[in-house]
């Protein structure tokens, strides 16, 4: 395709691109003027331009497809603030895949914090119960206490309140572990409030035997785990909720 002006035709792709952009008025004024000068002298390019224009005309003539139905959202659609956390793809419709994956790590971290926090809180609770309420036979009590405490503590820290209030009266009964209970009482009180009276009827029979607790350090560890777990759980929930409110 060698025309009179060899330079113009050397790169057919580039030329077609210039003609196509010129057709849409997207060439810079200087480039457009230069192209027009060339077009005045080159029939081949004029034909090429005409062909591009014809294709564009066909596309412009396509009728708008009939709408199959209305796409209006149901009036019960949750508002953006109240909507539950979505999978990363839906929550970031405007971001490219790469940034979507990068942003996906933060809600993932928040979720991981919630899991770790929840598990730590469970474990802490188990330790406390095992060493104080259920006496010195640690192995036996751990295996029996695990399902009960785990089931109660898993959903939210607030729902483990009844368990915590049950341990409160045990504090007074077991002087050996009283020192270690400074912390759990502190964490139990916001969740458990003042229910020492009625809860005292729930006092497990083995409470008095617990004073010979093998390792006083275990309740402290348990308390620490419980406290740390609750903090992580709370932080994770707040982070997850703030992430979704600031949906970008």
Partner 1 sequence: MAQRRNGDDERRAAEERALVERSQRGEVAAFNVLVERYQSAAYALALRVVGDPDAAADVTQDAFFSAFRAIDSFRGSSFRAWLLRIVSNGCMDHFRAQGRRPAVSLEATLEDDRGFDDPAASDYRMPKTMIDPSWDPEHAALRAETIAQIEAALLRLPPEQRMAVVLSDVQGMPYDEIARVMGTSLGTVKSRIARARAHLRGLLPREGELFRQRGRPGTERER
129 contacts 105 by C-beta, under 8 angstroms = no
Contact between 139 and partner 1 (CB under 8 A)?
no
- The H or E element that residue 55 is part of is helix 43-61
Question: Cβ 224 to partner 1, closest distance in Å?
Answer: 40
Contact between 74 and partner 1 (CB under 8 A)?
yes
| The total number of residues written for the chain in this structure | 248
Q: Which of 2, 28, 30, 58 binds partner 1 (CB under 8 A)?
A: 58
* Strand, coil or helix: 65: coil
Contact between 1 and partner 1 (CB under 8 A)?
yes
Is 54 or 139 the residue whose CB approaches partner 1 more closely? 54
Only one of the segments 11-19, 111-119, 197-205, 208-216 lies at the binding site for partner 1 (rule: CB under 8 A); that segment is 11-19
Contacts of 107 (CB under 8 A, 6+ apart): 85, 88, 91, 239, 240, 243, 244
> Residue 202 and residue 169: Cα distance in Å, rounded?
9
> Residue 120 and residue 231: Cα distance in Å, rounded?
10
Q: How many residues bind partner 1 (CB under 8 A)?
A: 58
Q: Which of 3, 9, 46, 209 binds partner 1 (CB under 8 A)?
A: 46
Contact between 20 and partner 1 (CB under 8 A)?
yes
> Residue 152 and residue 162: Cα distance in Å, rounded?
9
Question: Cβ 193 to partner 1, closest distance in Å?
Answer: 35
Contacts of 11 (CB under 8 A, 6+ apart): none
Binding-site ranges for partner 1 (CB under 8 A): 1, 12-13, 16-17, 19-21, 23-26, 36, 46-48, 50-65, 67-75, 77, 79-83, 86, 89-94, 96, 246-248
């Amino acid at each position: 395709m060698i025309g009179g002006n060899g330079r113009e035709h050397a790169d057919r792709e580039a030329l077609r691109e210039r003609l196509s952009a010129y057709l849409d008025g997207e060439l810079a004024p200087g480039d457009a003027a230069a192209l027009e000068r060339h077009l005045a002298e080159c029939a081949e390019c004029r034909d090429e331009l005409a062909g591009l224009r014809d294709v564009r005309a066909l596309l412009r003539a396509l009728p708008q497809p009939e709408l199959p139905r209305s796409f209006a959202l149901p009036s019960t659609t949750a508002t953006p603030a109240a909507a539950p956390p979505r999978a990363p793809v839906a929550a970031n419709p405007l971001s490219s895949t790469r940034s979507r994956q990068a942003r996906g790590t933060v809600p993932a971290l928040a979720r991981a914090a919630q899991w770790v926090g929840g598990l730590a809180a469970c474990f802490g609770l188990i330790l406390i119960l095992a060493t104080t309420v259920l006496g010195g036979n640690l192995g036996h009590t751990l295996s029996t206490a695990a399902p009960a405490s785990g089931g109660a503590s898993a959903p939210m820290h607030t729902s483990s309140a009844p368990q915590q209030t049950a341990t409160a009266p045990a504090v007074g009964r077991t002087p050996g572990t009283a020192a270690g209970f400074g912390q759990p009482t502190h964490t139990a009180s916001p969740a458990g409030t003042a229910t020492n009276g009625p809860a005292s009827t729930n006092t497990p029979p083995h409470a008095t035997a617990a004073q010979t607790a093998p390792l006083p350090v275990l309740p402290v560890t348990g308390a620490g785990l419980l406290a740390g777990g609750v903090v992580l759980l709370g932080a994770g929930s707040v982070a997850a909720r703030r992430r979704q409110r600031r949906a970008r």
